[in-house]
Structure 1
Amino acid sequence: MSTFLLEIVTPEHVVFSREVESLTVRGLEGELGILPGHIPFVTPLQVAPLVIRSGGKTQTIAVHGGFVEVQGDKAIVLAESAELPEEIDLERAIAARERAERRLSASEQDRIDHRRAELALQKAITRINVSSRSKE
């Protein structure tokens, strides 16, 4: 099966750099599947798990915003932050989800705090999903 190079980069470090068979990301318009030979494009990413398939195995990485660029035989994810399943503290993520849900349920929220709480909730849920999938 043919492959392409996938690099996942944050401002701090390179999270992932390997040949893969496919990549699934969630852009602003919905889920995008990327295979070798995909047309070139750039799109912003949502806070969501990124799914990599290679060598008959599936790996999920928590990606918290950024962009994906596909060019030739290479895809680069420039993420605000990204976490491998083994880097996620599940208990901390569950506590963060609960805090965000409490903030969202409070009736007197200004718009900025509400948006921050929504983003914190999305990140926590993404971490929980990625951590849980890696244990299956």
Structure 2
Amino acid sequence: MSEVKAGLWYTKDHEWVEKLENGNLRLGITDFAQHQLGDIVFVELPAEGRTVSAEEEVGSIESVKTVSELFCPVGGTVVAVNEALDAEPELVNGAPYGNGWMIEIQPDGEAEGLLAALLTPEQYEAENQD
């Protein structure tokens, strides 16, 4: 069974969202997603300052098996990008909920309302039973 971390929100497309203390939202892919992709060799992420819409494709993740799109579950402005992934994309495999995070978004609107539309850890786990 893949790890599903408490305290995060999830999408059906296997992204996770964490609300940070400053109100921004951090985004990455789930442990399930990185297992499905296999060894990640390249991550393409949006530029800081880019405005994104909910459910918009904002990047891609390339593995030895395939290329998968990264979707942004909430609208807002990209305020940080994990530049460590340029040199070490395998961080996503080793720590998808830690050093393998991808982008931070300053959300449009109140974060709680945006997060309410996403899956809880329990809902995500129920949808992805191995």
Question: Structure 1 length as normaliser, TM-score?
Answer: 0.31
The structure whose residues are more often strand, as a share, is 1
The structure whose residues are more often helix, as a share, is 1
- Pick 1 or 2: higher relative contact order, CA cutoff 8 A, min separation 6: 2
Question: Structure 2 length as normaliser, TM-score?
Answer: 0.32
Tell me which structure has the larger Cα radius of gyration. 1
